[in-house]
């Protein structure tokens, strides 16, 4: 049996974290292993988990407070040697350029569209 892919979901909002995990589910693509979610509510925990390794992809809420996902993404890109792919949830579609600036490989706007988010995540995990 293949080990599950570990997906970190960062948001200071519990509803947003639940929306993300429910939108994607635990096995959205038959050609990928199942997903295991690590939900965190603070920037120090994001850094802790990503620094420790073993995270296959991180989804960062750009609307999180006090540390927004774009700033966290920029910090991760600047400080980690082996940073996994990053998806930033933006406040609006026009903020996609900020997510790219932060180093995220994908940007998905709020409100979360399950199909758009799942497609972004699975495409990044397929490499």
Residue 4 DSSP label: P
**Total domains present in the chain:** 1
What pLDDT shows up at residue 55? 98
Query: What is the domain-level CATH number for residue 26?
Result: 3.40.50.2300
pLDDT in tens, 67-100: 999 999 999 999 999 999 999 999 999 999 999 9
**Helices 14-24, 114-126: inter-axial angle, 10-degree rounding:** 70
Q: Which of 70, 73, 60, 79 is nearest to 120 (CA)?
A: 60
User: Does residue 115 carry a pLDDT above 80?
Assistant: yes
pLDDT class for 127, splitting at 50, 70, 90?
confident
Structural domain boundaries, residue 67:
5-126
Q: Give the DSSP H or E segment for 18.
A: helix 14-24
What pLDDT shows up at residue 14? 98
């Amino acid at each position: 049996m293949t080990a599950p892919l570990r997906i970190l979901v960062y948001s200071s909002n519990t509803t947003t974290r639940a929306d993300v995990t429910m939108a994607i589910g635990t096995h959205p693509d038959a050609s990928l292993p199942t997903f295991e979610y690590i939900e965190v509510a603070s920037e120090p925990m994001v850094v802790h988990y990503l620094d420790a390794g073993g995270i296959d992809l991180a989804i960062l809420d750009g609307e999180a407070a006090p540390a927004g996902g774009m700033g966290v993404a920029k910090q991760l890109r600047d400080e980690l040697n082996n940073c996994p792919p990053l998806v930033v949830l933006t406040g609006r579609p026009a903020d996609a350029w900020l997510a790219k600036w932060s180093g995220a490989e994908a940007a998905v706007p709020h409100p979360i569209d399950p199909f758009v988010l799942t497609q972004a995540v699975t495409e990044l995990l397929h490499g």
